């Protein structure tokens, strides 16, 4: 039997239903009793970053409850300086980055203790330049990206050893040009985004074999038009973001069949409830809704979406306002 590694696209391709997606995200945060809301407590800070970034891209940030969000973030900063996913949870670099990204969008970094954030991140760096995600010590190159992105948003990259952080990223590079989560781990689109983004922030993109990695990335596109995260995997909307943002940073976005990918992403909308799912017909969620919209923003500026910065996955105007210039290959 031939193993199916792709899907058939539905015949009709819906147009981009921005009002529906905005209403889905705005109501997601409000009805707290809903099952989904309770299931996402362990990652609520990231869930808020996904929803608020998507709403800002659609020009709806002013419809959110800014004061309530700022109060929640203040309550989530622990004595260690790190920020947790929800109140009374342990702090972690993943949620510290999400919180700083939200505060940059709201232009409200003053509501938390920035020096204690910087110290929390600095304390996570290991002797080999890598970063542990929290005090329990799990190392993953995703956490290197969280550390470097957080500190660069605060203009405090001086607090860590950037050269050693870069050395660890290079140890994660594979013969196929891609990156895994640790030295020797297999290449995966999500980790390639983290490593490409870190090297873009620190100005070390010249260390990447852009043609070899670009080739591996555009190989992710399947006949359905969708992108997968590794060879032999099914397509998934969130991989549109991981692959496209890395290709954009490498200056090779044009290597992808844009029209086919746009059609794939549009079929992943739920035309009733709003929101995007990983594949047509699956359950929608805020994670895939953000990454569907950010991918469309990179693919075609004629959708009514604000431009997205491929390195930080934040609206371009926020990165401009912060005076940040993450590098890209031409």
Ligand X SMILES: COc1ccc(S(=O)(=O)N2Cc3cc(C#N)ccc3N(Cc3cncn3C)C[C@H]2Cc2ccccc2)cc1
Residue (46 or 101) nearer to ligand X, CB = 46
Return the residues of window 209-248 that contact ligand X according to CB under 6 A. 236, 238
3-state secondary structure of 93: helix
Residue 140 interacts with ligand X (CB under 6 A): yes or no: no
Residues 6+ apart with CB under 8 A from 291: 237, 238, 240, 241, 242, 276
Which does residue 43 bind out of Zn ion, ligand X, none, counting CB within 5 to 8 angstroms by kind? ligand X
In the complex, what is the shortest distance from the CB of residue 323 to ligand X, in angstroms, rounded to a whole number? Answer: 26
**Residue list 181-210, contact with ligand X (CB under 6 A):** 190
Torsion, CA 100, CA 102, CA 106, CA 111, rounded to 10: -50
Q: Which of residues 23-82 bind ligand X (CB under 6 A)?
A: 40, 43, 46
Distance of alpha carbon 117 from alpha carbon 98, whole angstroms: 12
Spell out the residues 6+ positions from residue 285 whose beta carbon is closer than 8 angstroms to its own. Answer: 36, 275, 277
Location of structure tokens 């099952």: 35
Q: Which does 140 bind (CB under 5 to 8 A by kind): Zn ion, ligand X, none?
A: none
What is 249-274 written as a DSSP string?
HTT-GGGS-HHHHHHHHHHTB-TTT-
Least CB distance to Zn ion at residue 49 (A): 16
Q: Which does 249 bind (CB under 5 to 8 A by kind): Zn ion, ligand X, none?
A: none
Residue with Cβ nearer ligand X (164 or 279): 279
Place of tokens 């509501």: 111
The minimum distance between CB 109 and Zn ion, in angstroms, equals: 30
How many residues bind ligand X, per CB under 6 A? Answer: 10
Tell me how far, at minimum, the Cβ of 237 lies from ligand X, in Å.
8
The option from Zn ion, ligand X, none interacting with 286 (CB < 5 to 8 A, set by class) reads ligand X
Cβ 243 to ligand X shortest distance, Å? 13
Instruction: Choose among Zn ion, ligand X, none what residue 285 binds, the Cβ cut-off being 5 to 8 Å by kind.
Output: ligand X
**Considering just the CA atoms, what is the radius of gyration of the chain in Å?**
19
Per-residue binding letters, 255-294, with ligand X (x by CB under 6 A): -----------------------x------xxx-------
Closer to ligand X by CB, 43 or 222: give it. 43
**Cα(59)–Cα(56) distance, rounded to whole angstroms?**
5
Q: Which is nearer to ligand X, 90 or 161 (CB)?
A: 90
Q: Which is nearer to Zn ion, 134 or 285 (CB)?
A: 285
Cβ neighbours, 10 Å, residue 170: 15
Return the H-helix or E-strand segment holding 165.
helix 162-171
- What letters, b where the CB count within 10 A reaches 16 and e where it falls short, cover 289-323? bbbbbbbbbbbeeebebbebbbbbbbbeebbeebe
Interface positions with ligand X (CB under 6 A): 40, 43, 46, 190, 236, 238, 278, 285-287
């Amino acid at each position: 039997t031939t193993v199916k590694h792709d899907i058939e696209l539905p015949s009709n391709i819906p147009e981009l239903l921005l009002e529906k997606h905005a209403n889905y995200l705005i109501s997601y945060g409000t009805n707290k009793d809903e099952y989904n809301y309770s299931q996402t407590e362990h990652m609520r800070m990231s869930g808020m970053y996904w929803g608020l970034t998507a709403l800002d891209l659609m020009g709806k940030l002013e419809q959110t409850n800014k004061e309530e969000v700022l109060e929640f973030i203040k309550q989530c900063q622990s004595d260690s300086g790190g920020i947790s996913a929800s109140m009374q949870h342990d702090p972690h670099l993943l949620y510290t980055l999400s919180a700083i990204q939200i505060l940059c969008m709201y232009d409200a970094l003053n509501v938390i203790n920035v020096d204690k954030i910087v110290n929390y991140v600095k304390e996570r760096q290991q002797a080999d330049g890598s970063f542990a995600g929290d005090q329990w010590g799990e190392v993953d190159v995703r956490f290197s990206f969280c550390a470097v992105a957080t500190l660069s948003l605060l203009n405090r990259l001086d607090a860590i050893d950037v050269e050693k952080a870069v050395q660890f990223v290079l140890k994660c590079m594979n013969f196929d040009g891609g990156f895994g989560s640790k030295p020797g781990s297999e290449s995966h689109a999500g980790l390639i985004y983290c490593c490409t983004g870190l090297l873009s922030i620190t100005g070390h993109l010249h260390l990447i074999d852009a043609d070899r990695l670009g080739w591996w990335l555009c190989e992710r596109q399947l006949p359905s038009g969708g992108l997968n995260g590794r060879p032999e995997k099914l397509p998934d909307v969130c991989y549109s973001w991981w692959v496209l943002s890395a290709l954009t940073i490498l200056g090779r976005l044009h290597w992808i069949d844009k029209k086919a990918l746009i059609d794939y992403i549009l079929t992943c909308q739920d035309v009733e409830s709003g929101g995007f799912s990983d594949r047509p017909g699956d359950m929608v969620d805020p994670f895939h809704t953000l990454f569907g919209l950010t991918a469309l923003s990179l693919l075609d500026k004629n959708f009514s979406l604000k431009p997205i910065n491929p390195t930080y996955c934040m609206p371009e105007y926020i990165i401009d306002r912060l005076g940040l210039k993450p590098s890209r290959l031409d």
